[in-house]
Structure 1
Amino acid sequence: MNKKINTYWVLLLGCLLLTGCQSNKKEKEHSTMETQELATALAPMSAEVMESAIIYEANIRQYSAEGTFEAFTRDIPQLKELGVNIIWLMPVYPISEIRRKATGDLMVEDIEDPEERKKYLGSYYAISDYTAINPEFGTLEDFRKLVATAHENGMYVILDWVANHTGWDHVWITEHPDYYTKNADGEITDPLQGDGTPWGWSDVADLNYDNAEMREAMIQSMMYWLKEEGIDGFRCDVAATVPTWFWKEAIGRLRAEKPIFMLAEAWEPELMEGDLFDMGYGWDGHHLMNDIAKEHKNAWDWNNYMNDRFVKYGDDDILMNFLTNHDENSWNGTISERMGNNRETFLALAYSMPGMPLIYSGQEYDLDHRLKFFEKDSIPKTKGKMWPLMAKLAKLKQTEKALDGGKQRAGYQRVDTSEGDHILAFRRTQDEAELIYVANMRSEATNFTLDLNGNYTDYMSGESLTIQPGSQLEFGPWEYKILRRSN
């Protein structure tokens, strides 16, 4: 009898355990299925999306006091007010411990005080594992919720991909040393310039693209995020340092899986030929904005730049227009340092010209300090002048066909003015739609005439203007208008 009772309880316990395991398994599968369903609910990436897109660079570490995926995810719905429909996440992968950068020329291992060492979190671009999540930001499930929330709110998510190098404790260093570039002594090197001298990126090891196994491992790592985690493309770090023939193979295979958006941190036109990258960096335009803001260059220089841009790039090439990004802010200065108080004029230019405008974390909150790169920092979270301005520009960008800036961009034509050195004026047109950007690009008031004839309304202020041949206009220092014809 006792034996029968014991057998009964053993069987009952076994059933309960099996039921519990099956339940847990179902819950896990259900959670994964929900994530995948949410990740695929968004319409596929398309050329139409790119025409009016606004891209947001998310610096997860510095975006919030917590520095987590979860904190950023909470704010995704309000990014719709800014017209954001592509979120570029700075690298989300684990960061190498070995040769981790601290400050100046120091590595973390050079610092004796253990408490001081803890401050230095390392460079996002020194990756120790391409298919894992940096625990500093949260868990894989937290990442999945971010992607799902973005998709629910009509936004695509692209990952920052660092194909040129890895951190020094990436598993490939020990298991596949042949994946890396080596010097004459057979030692793995940090990235080198064409003349053999170091770039100064001593916290990373240079990958050898002559190695076919490494290339395949790189593509499979990218494929993981595309197929398993539902992301929508990649921003590729220092893309021009990786052979173009690799990108042709990799991007071709990625696009065979699903429509994606590819951004190259590069400006070389050949990287946007055919079906390679959709967009590159508008570095020349960015630098010229800085120079005009300092009055080292003028409106004629801008006209020459745009003429050159149309010659150099194909009709379906997109360039990213930006006032700042993570590199510019941390290393070259804030917008105020580089542009003074002229940011509104240049922000409106970035939205009005052909291409796709970028918002960098904190820019929408009037960020006015250089964010630390290797340590924890934080952006302001108070909406000041920039948020409503960006929201207004976004509404125009995403509803006005004359501002299409993608693969079938609206036309761009310089408008003649009597003060060509100081007044920048151009017309954007698409079918019947027309907008005109006019700005005084200097620190003194300017009187001028425009080659326009008709009644106009300034979109930004609501002011009505009648402009006829010979009509004198006066713009204050750095004053700008975005004109719509009103009949």
Structure 2
Amino acid sequence: MPRPRYPSLFQVNTRVYLSEHAAGLAHPATLDDIPDRALDEWVQAGFDLIWFLGVWQTGPAGRRVSKSNSEWLKEFHQILPDLRPSDICGSCFAIQDYRVHDEFGGNEALDRLRQRLGNRGLRLILDFVPNHTALDHPWVSEHPDYYVWGSKKQLAAEPHNYCRTETSEGELILAHGRDPYFAGWPDTLQLNYGNPAVRQAMNRELRRIATQCDGVRCDMAMLVLPEVFERTWGIAAEPFWPWVTKTVRDEITDFLFLAEVYWDLESMLQQQGFDYTYDKRLYDHLHEMHVPPLRKHFLTSLNFQDKLVRFLENHDEPRAAAAFSPETHRPAAIITYLAPGLRFFHQGQFEGCKIRVPVHLRRRPAEPVDHALAEFYAALLECVRVPVFREGEWRLLECRPAWDGNWTSDCFVAYSWIGKDGERSLVAVNYSDHQSQCYVVIPWIGLEGQMWQLSDRMGAVVYERSGDCLAAQGLYLDMPAWTYHVFDVHETGKHRVGGDIRITTHKTVIPWHNRGRRSWVEPNTAVTNPVWPAR
């Protein structure tokens, strides 16, 4: 099936999902036990891509490390006060082999799941970890030259980054896989991309994976960039991604590559063959709650933004319901998921889960459902799957001061969407802790001479506005703290001279002069003694 311009992805923690599903079965759950109704629900929610995190085979070495690392154990006990040894299954990123885990039913069960997904138009995304392998990967004994070697001096100075390992060449000191800014991951060993045989071997692995799914999410994809790899390990390496993405696509044209990437290297990876790259910048700006840099981020080219993965949480980040306050969570979601790019949602996000589950665990704690938040996400998902937001043309809108000296226009984020059939939508968010006012500049042609109705998909408010006024001045907004509108915009008829501009709330027309209190200021109305927050 053709992929929409702006698809939606849902991340499933396979281990946790199957562990919970097994509670209603008389046997451990495999991928075959995922019910069709769950797949149907994902279709109804509007998802296009389902990422099953952690399906690959892990080994006993990774489990031993997870069960003995004191720092990790402390976190596990905080998350699961009733922690059991069986809850610790080892990190799903310490991969022993790229075959589906025996506990999940093996490759055959994945093939059947993929077929069921495909019958519903859903595409399967799986993990690819390019930087490292598990401690007990077969290559450790068969091809120790595939790994970065260390010295006794390095082991003594950095015991957290190196370890002694038995190989076919005897005991060697090998490096743990790592991000250069943090200590090594003690359940992994670092692959040496300076060795051409490693690039060939990983290319073969990826081509094999590509026959089992429709795309891969590449863990920490920037770590194998030549400049990053050499800076981390002092070893020169040839480019990997341009070659391997082309090799795979020569065989499977529409195979998808998603990159977890940071450090402003998103554009580089897009240029090297990735369809989508993580947008951590937007996530950070939303946390900082400072709108000008957020708006500046949206001024980058649309070709770049179309390939960004917009998210509020994933398995690495804190839960959105914990990281954002109840007031900021909703407007942050509106800004994130109604922007262009791939919309990334995470298991438990809609229910308001607050506890992030480490990838070492197969069980998560029971948490109450936030029903109000679930209703919000249900409404937002309805918006996300509307064609204008999946296929339309997006544009960031200018927000001008409502009057001289009122700086609160800087607190707005607004964009417009125009669909293929002329549908028009306008998104506006006051991303601040105070009332704010602005004029949103509407760049659409053909506004004049018509009356226009703006109906909020996320609420009951409906505005009627003169197209002449919208074209000349823009849309006036006076919005309370942390509020938002997702307007459908339609013509309602010819403009009447002296015609009434009205606000409709709960579908009841309320003329302006009959409103009980003023929270919006009518356009062209003089404002006396305006009061707005101190900067």
The answer to which of 236-245 and 381-390 deviates more is 381-390
Q: Say if 2:10 is the partner of 1:56.
A: yes
> Residue 380 of structure 2: SS of its match in structure 1?
helix
Give the Cα–Cα distance (whole angstroms) in 1 for the partners of residues 199 and 293 of structure 2.
42
* Between structures 1 and 2, the one with greater helix share: 1
Please show how residues 79-478 of structure 1 align to structure 2 within 5 Å.
79-99=42-62, 100-102=65-67, 105=70, 117-130=85-98, 132-185=99-152, 187-192=173-178, 199-227=183-211, 229=212, 231-243=213-225, 245-258=239-252, 259-267=254-262, 268=265, 269-273=267-271, 276-292=273-289, 297=290, 299-307=291-299, 309-310=300-301, 314-315=303-304, 317-328=306-317, 333-341=318-326, 342-378=328-364, 384-401=371-388, 403-404=390-391, 410-418=394-402, 419-430=408-419, 432-452=422-442, 454-467=452-465, 468=469, 469=473, 473-478=477-482
Partner of 1:112: none
Task: For 1:350, give the aligned amino acid.
Answer: T
CA contact 2:51–2:126 (8 Å) conserved in 1: yes
> Residue 240 of structure 2: SS of its match in structure 1?
helix
Give the Cα–Cα distance (whole angstroms) in 2 for the partners of residues 136 and 176 of structure 1.
27
* Between structures 1 and 2, the one with greater strand share: 2
Structure 2's unaligned 5+ residue stretches are: 23-28, 74-82, 153-171, 227-238, 403-407, 492-535
Task: For 1:300, give the aligned amino acid.
Answer: P
Give the Cα–Cα distance (whole angstroms) in 2 for the partners of residues 472 and 315 of structure 1.
31
Q: TM-score, normalised by structure 1?
A: 0.77
Structure 1's unaligned 5+ residue stretches are: 1-42, 109-114
Task: For 1:261, give the aligned amino acid.
Answer: L
Task: For 2:463, give the aligned amino acid.
Answer: L
CA contact 1:402–1:411 (8 Å) conserved in 2: no
Q: CA deviation at 1:448?
A: 4.2
Q: Deviations over 1:291-330 (max 9, x none)?
A: 21xxxx2x223212222x33xx8457510111100001xx
Classify 1:435/1:415 alpha carbon distance in 2 versus 1 (closer, same or farther; 3 Å): farther
Give the Cα–Cα distance (whole angstroms) in 1 for the partners of residues 121 and 379 of structure 2.
19
> Residue 320 of structure 1: SS of its match in structure 2?
strand
Classify 1:176/1:217 alpha carbon distance in 2 versus 1 (closer, same or farther; 3 Å): same
Q: Deviations over 1:403-442 (max 9, x none)?
A: 538xxx6333334353223222222335534321111212
CA contact 2:259–2:278 (8 Å) conserved in 1: yes
Q: Deviations over 1:376-396 (max 9, x none)?
A: 323769683455544443343
Match of 1:69 among 31, 36, 40: 31
Task: For 2:259, give the aligned amino acid.
Answer: A
Give the Cα–Cα distance (whole angstroms) in 1 for the partners of residues 479 and 395 of structure 2.
25
Task: For 2:387, give the aligned amino acid.
Answer: E
The alignment-based identity, stated in percent, is 22
Q: CA deviation at 1:117?
A: 4.1
> Residue 128 of structure 1: SS of its match in structure 2?
strand
The answer to which of 49-58 and 440-449 deviates more is 440-449
Classify 1:433/1:423 alpha carbon distance in 2 versus 1 (closer, same or farther; 3 Å): same
Q: CA deviation at 1:265?
A: 0.6
Give the Cα–Cα distance (whole angstroms) in 2 for the partners of residues 471 and 434 of structure 1.
14
Give the Cα–Cα distance (whole angstroms) in 2 for the partners of residues 53 and 208 of structure 1.
35
Partner of 1:40: none
The answer to which of 436-445 and 409-418 deviates more is 409-418
> Residue 370 of structure 1: SS of its match in structure 2?
coil
Task: For 1:384, give the aligned amino acid.
Answer: H
Classify 1:101/1:270 alpha carbon distance in 2 versus 1 (closer, same or farther; 3 Å): same
Q: CA deviation at 1:347?
A: 1.5
Give the Cα–Cα distance (whole angstroms) in 1 for the partners of residues 474 and 85 of structure 2.
67
Give the Cα–Cα distance (whole angstroms) in 2 for the partners of residues 212 and 482 of structure 1.
52
Task: For 1:77, give the aligned amino acid.
Answer: D
Classify 1:290/1:102 alpha carbon distance in 2 versus 1 (closer, same or farther; 3 Å): farther
CA contact 1:63–1:362 (8 Å) conserved in 2: no
Classify 1:232/1:383 alpha carbon distance in 2 versus 1 (closer, same or farther; 3 Å): farther
CA contact 1:73–1:146 (8 Å) conserved in 2: no
Give the Cα–Cα distance (whole angstroms) in 2 for the partners of residues 89 and 388 of structure 1.
25
Classify 1:385/1:358 alpha carbon distance in 2 versus 1 (closer, same or farther; 3 Å): farther
Give the Cα–Cα distance (whole angstroms) in 1 for the partners of residues 399 and 416 of structure 2.
6
Task: For 1:340, give the aligned amino acid.
Answer: S
CA contact 1:402–1:433 (8 Å) conserved in 2: no
Give the Cα–Cα distance (whole angstroms) in 2 for the partners of residues 315 and 119 of structure 1.
41
CA contact 1:440–1:478 (8 Å) conserved in 2: yes
Q: Deviations over 1:423-472 (max 9, x none)?
A: 22222335534321111212333344444584311122242113444876
Q: TM-score, normalised by structure 2?
A: 0.71
Task: For 2:411, give the aligned amino acid.
Answer: H
Structure ranking higher on relative contact order (CA contacts 8 Å, 6+ apart): 1
Task: For 1:305, give the aligned amino acid.
Answer: H
Give the Cα–Cα distance (whole angstroms) in 2 for the partners of residues 210 and 474 of structure 1.
58
Classify 1:166/1:382 alpha carbon distance in 2 versus 1 (closer, same or farther; 3 Å): same
Task: For 2:148, give the aligned amino acid.
Answer: T
Q: CA deviation at 1:170?
A: 0.4
Give the Cα–Cα distance (whole angstroms) in 2 for the partners of residues 72 and 362 of structure 1.
17
Classify 1:164/1:387 alpha carbon distance in 2 versus 1 (closer, same or farther; 3 Å): same
